[in-house]
């Protein structure tokens, strides 16, 4: 097969995420830190899950109480536990780029080993993906293909369409937090943690909400975000969004 | 000033690193994890620095002994402690893109706060940059501009040109490790940690050396890498480098 040029706009993101030792190092480091944090929480049970309540606002966070619920960590799937190398490769070659298609995936570096060690410590891995329910078997197969157990829908496996909120993962998080004390979450988008951060507009305000607001202390402290440079909301904005202080100074 | 279109190849990387809440979350989380790790090491002194010896090979790591040396953390500067937003912005606007020029920088999210807390715990921050010695005052000024103390060359500040190894940071790391027990390092390139990883070719072998070799356990465990999607060696490779297993399967 003759390799073609991908859209040049995407090349840097694919090089970084799927090709570089640096991205592998970030993934391994993030999973190591997540595991360390979750095991420390398991040794000294926290009062609250790392899941925000329906009442939480940007200015006033609140979190679901843990009670005596069993311990869990909630993982997004795509570009968090799995890397969609098949889809990325198809951007070069014109292969099947449907999300609903079978294609090779890799394990995100460190993901499988961390999940195995969490499970050995009695902490359940729960998957909360924005793939739609019609792809449940497909995505479960991806997880099995990288060496994880097949998840069970409604028990430790939640997809877009299982409630009325669509791609807003909050509802599924609230369902999970009713039954579990969630000591950590991993994802690649702000929406994998709290929808109130994900919906802030425009781009600089969204960065500020994640970076300087009362949720900023969660990063590395229960919330673990892996860089996705291939697609998603982190790849938005024009010069005024990316460098607002520079544009302001120039005007 | 009229904003121009940057080279489209670079846009995704600039959006992610300088514009997104997700990149801010990664930076905050990485600094939080670094601080947690360094404070734990300070409480229970390690036998070895996280700096590899001149004798270390890809297959056989070895690390400089700590003895009773004082504790330190070694930081790269650009895209680790500072974000070169001035340079990035100039890619859009045609402004001065010389590295040797004064331009605005931002603090990497979490960097200043983590360094302050390390110093309060008696852990010295040491900067090891590949900026050349003629830029020592300029880069020290960048650090001061984000709220850090002015570093002192040869004490806690090391630049390219202070030994015979040029951009290979190993020699400066060995100089530092003679006087300090280094409990953590932060950087954005493999060369900020160990040159033996940085010099592996081609791209997939370099990723494998960082990801699966005997150094993989250092990530998040003394070595903390921040994603740089604006420039650097993580943005290399063609389709065969990024997805080697897919190209092999297709042939």
Q: What is the pLDDT of residue B6?
A: 53
Query: What DSSP element (H or E) covers B215?
Result: none
Mean pLDDT confidence for A83-97: 90
Residue B161 predicted with pLDDT over 70: yes
Residue A2 lies in a domain: no
Given a contact cutoff of 8 angstroms between Cβ atoms, the answer to whether A12 and B231 are in contact is no
Residue A82 predicted with pLDDT over 50: yes
Any chain B CB within 8 A of the CB of A105? no
Residue B91 lies in a domain: yes
Percent of chain A with pLDDT over 90: 89
Any chain A CB within 8 A of the CB of B246? yes
Closest CA–CA distance from residue A67 to any residue of chain B (Å): 26
Structure tokens at A195: 């929808």
Residues on chain A touching B23 (C-beta within 8 angstroms): 227, 234
Residue A1 lies in a domain: no
At residue B10 the predicted structure's pLDDT band, cuts being 50, 70 and 90, is confident
Query: What DSSP element (H or E) covers A149?
Result: none
Q: Supply the range of the domain harboring residue B161.
A: 7-228+237-250
Residues on chain A touching B26 (C-beta within 8 angstroms): 26, 30, 219, 225-227
- How many Å is the Cα radius of gyration of chain A? 18
Given a contact cutoff of 8 angstroms between Cβ atoms, the answer to whether B124 and B71 are in contact is yes
Any chain A CB within 8 A of the CB of B234? yes
Report CB contact under 8 Å: A234, B23. Answer: yes
Report CB contact under 8 Å: A15, B242. Answer: yes
Q: What is the pLDDT of residue A9?
A: 67
Which residues are CB-neighbours of B2 under 8 A, at least 6 positions away? none
At residue B1 the predicted structure's pLDDT band, cuts being 50, 70 and 90, is very low
Residue A117 lies in a domain: yes
Report CB contact under 8 Å: B36, A220. Answer: yes
Report CB contact under 8 Å: B26, A219. Answer: yes
Q: What is the pLDDT of residue A4?
A: 46
- Average pLDDT across chain B, whole number: 95
Cα A190 from Cα B29, distance rounded (Å): 13
At residue B111 the predicted structure's pLDDT band, cuts being 50, 70 and 90, is very high
Mean pLDDT confidence for B115-137: 98
Task: Give the bridge partners for A225, in sequence order.
Answer: A187
Residue A43 lies in a domain: yes
Global pTM reads: 0.96
- Average pLDDT across chain A, whole number: 95
Residues on chain B touching A11 (C-beta within 8 angstroms): 9
Residues on chain A touching B240 (C-beta within 8 angstroms): 3
Residue-wise pLDDT tens digits, B163-191: 999 999 999 999 999 999 999 999 999 99
Residue of B nearest to A207 (CA): B21
Any chain A CB within 8 A of the CB of B231? no
Residue A140 lies in a domain: yes
At residue B2 the predicted structure's pLDDT band, cuts being 50, 70 and 90, is very low
Residues on chain A touching B236 (C-beta within 8 angstroms): 15, 19-20
Residue B1 lies in a domain: no
Any chain B CB within 8 A of the CB of A40? no
Closest CA–CA distance from residue A90 to any residue of chain B (Å): 10
Residue B127 lies in a domain: yes
Residue A220 predicted with pLDDT over 80: yes
What CATH number did the domain enclosing B41 receive?
3.40.50.1000
Mean pLDDT confidence for A187-196: 98
Number of domains chain B is built from: 1
Residue of A nearest to B198 (CA): A21
Residues on chain B touching A89 (C-beta within 8 angstroms): 239, 242-243, 246-247
Residue of A nearest to B208 (CA): A21
Report CB contact under 8 Å: A247, B86. Answer: no
Torsion of CA A161, A162, A165, A169, to 10 degrees: -100
For tokens 């004798």, the residue is B55
Which bin fits B152, alpha (ψ -120 to 50), beta or left (φ > 0)? beta
In chain A, positions 52-71, which contact chain B (CB-CB < 8 Å)? none
Residue A5 predicted with pLDDT over 90: no
Cα B136 from Cα A5, distance rounded (Å): 41
Closest CA–CA distance from residue A240 to any residue of chain B (Å): 8
In chain B, positions 13-32, which contact chain A (CB-CB < 8 Å)? 13-16, 18-26, 28-32
Which residues are CB-neighbours of B203 under 8 A, at least 6 positions away? A19, A20, B236, B237, B241, B242
Percent of chain B with pLDDT over 90: 89
């Amino acid at each position: 097969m003759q390799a073609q040029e991908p859209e040049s706009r995407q090349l840097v993101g694919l090089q970084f995420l799927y090709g570089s030792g640096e991205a592998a190092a970030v993934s391994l480091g993030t999973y190591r830190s997540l595991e360390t944090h979750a095991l420390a929480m398991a040794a000294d049970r926290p009062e609250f899950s790392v899941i925000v309540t329906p009442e939480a606002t940007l200015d006033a966070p609140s979190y679901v109480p843990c009670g005596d619920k069993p311990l869990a960590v909630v993982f997004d799937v795509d570009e968090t536990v799995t890397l969609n190398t098949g889809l990325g490769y198809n951007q070069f070659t014109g292969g099947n780029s449907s999300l609903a298609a079978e294609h090779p995936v890799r394990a995100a570096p460190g993901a499988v080993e961390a999940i195995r060690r969490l499970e050995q410590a009695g902490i359940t891995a729960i998957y909360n993906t924005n793939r739609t329910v019609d792809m449940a078997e497909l995505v479960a197969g991806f997880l099995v293909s990288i060496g994880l157990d097949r998840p069970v829908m409604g028990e430790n496996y939640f997809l877009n369409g299982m409630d009325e909120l669509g791609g807003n993962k909050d509802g599924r998080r609230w369902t999970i937090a009713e039954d579990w004390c969630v000591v950590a979450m991993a994802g690649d988008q702000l929406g994998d943690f709290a929808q109130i951060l994900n919906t802030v507009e425009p781009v600089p305000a969204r960065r500020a909400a994640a970076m300087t607001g009362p949720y900023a202390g969660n990063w590395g402290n229960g919330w673990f975000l892996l860089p996705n440079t291939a697609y998603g909301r982190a790849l938005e904005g024009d010069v005024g969004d990316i460098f607002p202080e520079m544009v302001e100074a120039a005007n």
